[in-house]
Each structure stands twice: as C-alpha cells, then as structure tokens.
C-alpha cells in the first residue's frame, strides 16, 4: 500500500474508534437516566428481571395477629393469623407494597414485627409492643436496598400454633398428680345452686365462702385469702360463660371447654405470664362427664413475691345447657396448700 493509502486507512480506523467510543458513552447515559436495560444487554450485561420475589413475614410473641398485605392482585390477609405468618408473591418492579400487622387486644405488652424480603434479602422491618399494637412495613419493589446486618426472621411453625411464647397445652390425657402435704382442713361444703354442684369448703388460711353477683364477677361463689398484700389465692364457681360455649362442640368438647375456661381465667387474672398445662384428664361426677385441667402460670409483677400460680379448672356437664365450672388458684408462696387442689377435685358433686 502506498503511503497515501496507509494514511487514509489510518484515518478511517481512528474515525471508527471515535464513533465506537461515543456509542458506548451514549449507551451509558441512556442506562443512567432511564434505567433501560436493553442497551445494557446489548452491551453484554444481562437485563434485570421485571419481577421480584417478595416475602411477607409477621412474627410475634402473642401467638396470633391480624395481618394485611398488598400485592398486584389487591389486599390479602386474615384475622387472628397464627404466628409466625409467611406469604410469598412475585411483584413487578416499581410497585408500592405494604405489610400491616396488629397485636391482639390482650397481648400483655408482647412485641409484634413485620418484615419484607426482596429476593431473600430484608429490605423493610418494623416492630411495636402492647395491646393492639401495630407494625407497618412499606416498600417500593426493586428500589429498596437490603438492610445491613438483618437476617430473615425464623418462620418455623410452632409446635402449637396460636399460643404465645412460653405457653403449652396438653393434647393427651395426663393425670393430676398428688401434691404432697396436708393442705387445708375441710370445714364444710359449698353449694352452688345455679351451677348445680357442691364441693369442699376449706378452713385454715381460707376465708369463708360467699355468694357473689354473677353479672358483676362472672361467678356464683367465691372463697379467697390474701397470700401477700397485693395477691390472693381463690376458689370460684359458677355456670360457664355463654361466650365460651363455641368451644363445647365435638367429641373432645369437655377438654376444650375446660381449657377455654382456664384460658379465660389466665387472661383476666394475669397482666403477663405464660401458662403450661401439667395435667388434663376426664372425670365423672354423679354419672355426669367432666374434665380437669391443671396449669402452672409463670408471671412477674412488681411488688409481688409469687412467681408461679398453680391453677386448676373443673367443668361438669350437669345436664343444663351450659356446664358448671370450678377454678382454684394458689401461688407458689403457699405451695404447702397445693394439696387443696386434689381435695377440691375429689370433692365435687352434682346437686338436683
């Protein structure tokens, strides 16, 4: 090639190089300002997927919570969802989503947490504590970076879904143990005419049994004594509240109702605490079927020495529409009187 031809060729090559440089700069600017991945793909980079796998997670110590979450198909969720709750959906980039979680009204100060994962990474998380507390997580799909140091919450289902942390309920028959000691002397019998049952009245530390207004307390009879200035032992009886009768269905209705009555007593007598069933067994009283549940309730209250109450609920089908119940609670400061639980259970009789 002549010197003139070589010069022309070199000039042409330099021109092509300049054009390639400008084209690459153009692709970079287009991607930067528009987010368009097609130029990136043409430049050798794979395009981003148009959707992201979103995981919605709600965890909480109360055991249940109301959950709502938005997807491209609308708002989904459920009330009283067993926790941990988990749902997954593929959502288009740029979509605004929300995860909302609310504690039960009686959550005893426990925490509830919402978490949103994008392709497995935590991008949003929020917590709150208390009765009816709410946690809300909001995100724009594909735009929120992973939160440093946060791992996805454990979503392993609990052995007994719907129960708060530290709670357990027996699902098999476990007989009531014989608590050691003499317990209180029996000085008479209490007759609950409305419930159509009678049972032992104790002396010693116990005050005299008395009739009370069931419209105020939910009980017909009460026997109590102060175990310390701000705490009591108690025996109460009456007719099962109508609000609990939804539990009285099916072959296992006696166990279910006894557990529900014990749960109700725990809810109203303890601001915080965790109940663990230690006995659950059928009984027969005057030819009528019944059930006994015994529970250890652990709690912490300022200024209260007691840390555990041993409680028992007896329900008896007396033939009326609603069964009778008896509940006894004695704190660990007076565990010498825990044999009163055995004596009370053994003393129950039906009346005409």
Q: What is the pLDDT of residues 145-185, one digit of tens each?
A: 999 999 999 988 877 777 777 889 998 999 999 999 999 99
Task: Considering the domain delimited by 186-350, tell me its CATH architecture.
Answer: 3-Layer(aba) Sandwich (3.40)
Domain 51-140, CATH number (from 2.60.60, 2.115.10, 2.40.10, 3.40.1350): 2.60.60
Please tell me the predicted confidence (pLDDT) of residue 2: 40
User: Rounded to two decimals, what is the model's pTM?
Assistant: 0.69
Listed by start position, the domains of the chain span 51-140, 186-350
Select from 312, 325, 317, 260 the least CA-distant residue to 285. 317
Please tell me the predicted confidence (pLDDT) of residue 1: 41
Report the DSSP beta bridge partners of residue 137.
99
Cβ atoms within 10 A of the Cβ of 86, count?
16
Select from 294, 283, 295 the least CA-distant residue to 324. 283
> Could you give the strand order of the β-sheet that contains 64-71, starting from the edge strand earlier in sequence?
74-82, 64-71, 96-102, 134-140
- Give all strands (DSSP E) within 242-287, no chain letters: 274-285
Residue 334 makes CB contacts below 8 A (sequence gap 6+) with 205, 227, 233
Distance CA 311, CA 146 (A): 48
Please tell me the predicted confidence (pLDDT) of residue 91: 96
Query: Please, are residues 72 and 237 in contact by the beta-carbon 8 Å criterion?
Result: no
Query: Please, are residues 222 and 304 in contact by the beta-carbon 8 Å criterion?
Result: no
Distance CA 277, CA 119 (A): 41
Residue 252 makes CB contacts below 8 A (sequence gap 6+) with none
Please tell me the predicted confidence (pLDDT) of residue 164: 75
Q: Kindly write down the DSSP assignment for every residue of 185-250, as one continuous string.
A: PEEEEEEETTTTEEEEEE-TT----EE--HHHHS-SEEEEEEEETTEEEEEEEEEPPGGGGGG--S
Q: What is the pLDDT of residues 306-334, one digit of tens each?
A: 999 999 999 999 999 999 999 999 999 99
Report the DSSP beta bridge partners of residue 55.
88, 117
Where the chain has pLDDT below 70, the residues are 1-45, 107-108, 271-272
Query: Please, are residues 348 and 221 in contact by the beta-carbon 8 Å criterion?
Result: no
Please tell me the predicted confidence (pLDDT) of residue 22: 53
Please tell me the predicted confidence (pLDDT) of residue 291: 98
Examine domains 51-140 and 186-350 and report if their fold is the same.
no
Distance CA 77, CA 312 (A): 36
Please tell me the predicted confidence (pLDDT) of residue 33: 47
């Amino acid at each position: 090639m002549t010197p003139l031809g070589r010069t022309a060729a070199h000039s042409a090559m330099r021109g092509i190089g300049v054009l390639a440089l400008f084209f690459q700069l153009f692709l970079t600017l287009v991607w930067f300002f528009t987010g368009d991945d097609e130029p990136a793909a043409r430049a050798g980079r794979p395009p981003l997927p148009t959707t992201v796998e979103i995981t919605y997670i709600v965890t909480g110590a109360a055991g249940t919570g109301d959950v709502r979450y938005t997807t491209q198909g609308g708002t989904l969720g459920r009330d009283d969802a067993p926790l941990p709750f988990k749902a997954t959906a593929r959502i288009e980039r740029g979509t605004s989503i929300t995860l909302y979680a609310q504690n039960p009204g009686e959550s005893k100060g426990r925490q509830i947490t919402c978490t949103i994962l994008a392709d497995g990474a935590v991008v949003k998380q929020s917590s709150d504590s208390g009765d009816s507390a709410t946690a809300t997580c909001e995100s724009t799909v594909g735009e929120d970076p992973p939160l440093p140091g946060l791992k996805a919450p454990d979503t392993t289902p609990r052995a007994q879904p719907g129960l708060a942390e530290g709670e357990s309920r027996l699902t098999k028959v476990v007989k009531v143990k014989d608590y050691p000691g003499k317990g209180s002397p029996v000085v008479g019998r209490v007759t609950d005419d409305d419930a159509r049952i009678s049972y032992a009245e104790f002396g010693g530390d116990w005050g005299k049994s008395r009739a009370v207004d069931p419209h105020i307390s939910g009980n017909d009879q009460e026997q109590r004594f102060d175990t310390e200035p701000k705490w009591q032992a108690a025996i109460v009886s009456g007719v099962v509240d109508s609000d609990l009768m939804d539990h009285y269905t099916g072959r296992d209705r006696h166990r279910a109702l006894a557990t529900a009555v014990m749960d109700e007593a725990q809810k109203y007598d303890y601001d915080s605490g965790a109940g663990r069933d230690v006995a659950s067994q059928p009984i027969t009283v005057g030819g009528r079927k019944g059930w006994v549940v015994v529970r250890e309730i652990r709690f912490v209250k300022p200024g209260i020495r007691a840390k555990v109450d041993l409680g028992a609920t007896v329900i008896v089908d007396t033939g009326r529409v609603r069964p009778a119940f008896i509940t006894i609670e004695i704190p660990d400061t007076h565990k010498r009187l825990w044999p009163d639980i055995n004596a009370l259970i053994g003393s129950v009789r039906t009346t005409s």
